[in-house]
Amino acid sequence: MNKFFLVSLLLLSFMTNVAATSKQEQIARTEYPTDTLYKIWLEQQKDKDAALKFYNALTEKHLIELDPKDVHQATVTYFAKGSADTDYIMQSGGPDFYGLRFRRLAGSDVFYCVQKIPRDAWFVYGINEFRAKIVKGAAGLLQSSVEHIADGVVIGPTAPLSDLIQNKPAVPRGSLLEMMVNSKALGEQRKIEVYVPAGYDPQVAHHLLLQFDGQNYSATDAQRPAWEGWTPLPTILDNLIHQQEIGPTVAIFIHNQGNRSGDLINDKMADFVALELVSWARANFNISANPKNIVVSGPSRAGFAAANTAFRHADIVGSVLSQSGSFYYTLQEQENWPIYPEFEGKLVRDFRSSAQRNIQFYLDVGLYDLGLAAVGTNRQLRDLLALKGYQVDYYQYKGGHSHLGWRHTIGKGLISLLGKENTNNKLQHNAR
C-alpha cells in the first residue's frame, strides 16, 4: 500500500459529519492543522475512544501526508500514547534540531506533533515521555521520570534510497570468514571478519577495504528494524562487483572490543590497521600494490579513525571513506562540546599544517547531524583538502547520524574511490 496519501484507508471510520460551530471549527483547524488530526477531533466529539482507536490501528507511530500544491515538502504527524501522569512528550530527529513537543489530542491520552520535512528527507527519530506523579502523603511533591517509548524512521517519498542493500537472486554471494589476529600495536588479539568475493581469483590483484565498526557493517539481516545500527556491506559489495561498478575487492571488518571510544582516536589503532592488517591481507590474498586501492572506512568516530590512519600511513593506505566523520575531536584533555566546538579538530589542523599526502577522499554527512559539529567540520575539512590539492568527493543528504543513511550512501563512496571511472585506482590483473 502506498504510504504517502491524502486520505488513508485508516481514516474511513472518521469521515462522519459531526456538528461543530463555526467558532469551534476555526479553533480546531488551528490546533489540528492536518486533515487527519481535524477528522480525529471531530470523531472524538461523539466517541471518547476515537483517538485511541486510531492510535491502536497505526502500524507506525507517524503518518506522512502530501499536499499536491507543495511538491517540495511533506507533513509528518507523530503520535504517542500517554496517561494522566504525562507531563510532556518529546520527539527528536529530522530538521528540528531541538526536537518537537507533543500536544494532547482532543482530551484523550493520545498525543501528537507535526513536522514539515523535505520530500527527499530520511532520518531516524525517537520519542521520550516525561512523567510527573504526585508522591503519596506529600502534598504538592511531584516525582519526575522519563521513559524512551518509541523509535522509528521517516523516509520521504523521494529519499535517495539505494537498491544495493538488497540481496538479488542472480548475484553471486561472497563468503565471510571470522578469525582473530594478533596485534603488537594494540597488545591484544582483535576479532575480524574477512569478506572474500564470489569466484575469488588469486591471479588477480584485488582492492582492499578496511572497515571500522565491522560488527555493524558485516550484517546480512535486512529484516531488523530500519532504525537499528546495521549496514549489509557484504551484500553491497556483492552487487557492486557483480555490476562491475568496482573491481574485485576483499574486505576486512574490524570489530570493536569494549573500548571503541578510546581505540578509534588512538594512533595505535591506525598503526594496527595500516602496518599489521594490510600486511596480513597481502600474505593471505592477492592485494593491489597501489595505495589508492586500499580504502579505510568508518562512520562517526570511526570516520576520524579512517582519516587518521591514512594521514599517518599514506604510503600504505591511500583512500579514505568517511561517513559523518567526527572531525571536531581535539584529543585535548578538555575536549570540545560537539554542538559548540570552541577549538578546531586535530585532523583539520594536521592536514592544514602538513604537506599534501597521496590520499583521495570520499566524505558524506547528513544535514541533520549535529549542526556545526558534524556538517560544519565536514565542510571545513572538504574545503581545506580541496584547497591543498587533494581529490575530494563530498555528498550531503537530508538525514541524521545513523546507519539509515550510511547503508544507502556507502555504495557511492566505494564507487567514487574504487570505481572504474577513477583513474587513480586501476587494478593490475597479474599474478603475485
In terms of phi and psi (left: phi > 0; alpha: psi -120 to 50; beta: otherwise), the region of 187 is left
Task: Say what the pLDDT of residue 97 is.
Answer: 86
38: domain CATH number is: 2.60.40
| Domain end residue (candidates: 155, 185, 217) | 155
- Shared-domain flag, residues 231 and 374: yes
**Which residues sit opposite 253 in a β-bridge?**
193, 211
- Shared-domain flag, residues 186 and 146: no
333-370, pLDDT tens digit by residue? 677 677 777 788 999 999 999 999 999 999 999 999 98
325: domain CATH number is: 3.40.50.1820
253-311, pLDDT tens digit by residue? 999 999 999 999 999 999 999 999 999 999 999 999 999 999 999 999 999 999 999 99
Q: Residue 149: how many CA atoms within 13 Å on its side-chain side?
A: 22
- Shared-domain flag, residues 62 and 145: yes
- Shared-domain flag, residues 90 and 174: no
Strands 73-81 and 62-66: antiparallel
- Shared-domain flag, residues 387 and 408: yes
- Shared-domain flag, residues 261 and 310: yes
C-alpha 152/C-alpha 95 separation (Å) is: 15
Whether 99 contacts 368, CB under 8 Å: no
- Shared-domain flag, residues 131 and 226: no
Containing domain of residue 111, as a range? 9-155
| Domain end residue (candidates: 98, 131, 155) | 155
- Shared-domain flag, residues 70 and 182: no
375-392, pLDDT tens digit by residue? 999 999 999 999 999 999
Instruction: Tell me if 2 is assigned to some domain.
Output: no
- Shared-domain flag, residues 184 and 125: no
Count of the separate structural domains present in the chain: 2
169-209, pLDDT tens digit by residue? 999 999 999 999 999 999 999 999 999 999 999 999 999 99
C-alpha 175/C-alpha 32 separation (Å) is: 53
